[in-house]
């Protein structure tokens, strides 16, 4: 899990603790890339806008390294162009943060099955 806001990391951790094992929680893109390459998790939840390296760049880099981790983006951006960039970078999920409580776990489950999940834009 990677997000530059401690409050979001805390909320995601609380939401996922009963359903998923969290192997790393980091607050910037470079740390996210390092954690993914080190732990090789089945799935990673990435914020898009983070210091050092965006979540989209992290996704591109892990693919360049041949890593098969599935990616779900967790973001404030309700933007079709950013969504397209996330999918092109290999993302399978795109969850709007205000929809996180309802959408994050279904998005993660869909990604683990190789399916795409996108939160409904308002």
Residue 36 in contact with residue 69, Cβ under 8 Å?
yes
Give the pLDDT confidence of 7-66 residue by residue, as tens digits: 999 999 999 999 999 999 999 999 999 999 999 999 999 999 999 999 999 999 999 999
**Residue in the structure block whose two tokens are 């009963």:** 18
Predicted model pTM: 0.96
**122 pLDDT above the threshold of 90:** no
**82 pLDDT above the threshold of 90:** yes
Residue 52 in contact with residue 30, Cβ under 8 Å?
yes
**What is the helix (H) or strand (E) element at residue 18, kind and residue range?**
none
**What is the helix (H) or strand (E) element at residue 46, kind and residue range?**
strand 43-47
Q: At what angle do helices 6-16 and 100-112 cross, to 10 degrees?
A: 60
Length of the chain: 122
């Amino acid at each position: 899990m990677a997000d530059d806001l401690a409050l979001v990391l805390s909320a995601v951790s609380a939401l996922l603790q009963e359903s998923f094992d969290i192997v790393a929680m980091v607050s910037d893109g470079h740390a996210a890339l390092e954690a993914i390459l080190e732990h090789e998790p089945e799935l990673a939840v990435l914020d898009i806008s983070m210091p050092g390296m965006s979540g989209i760049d992290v996704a591109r880099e892990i693919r360049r390294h041949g890593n098969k981790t599935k990616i779900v983006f967790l973001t404030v951006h309700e933007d079709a162009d950013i969504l397209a960039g996330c999918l092109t970078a290999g993302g399978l999920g795109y969850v709007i943060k205000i929809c996180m409580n309802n959408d994050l776990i279904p998005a993660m489950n869909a990604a683990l099955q190789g399916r795409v999940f996108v939160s409904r834009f308002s």
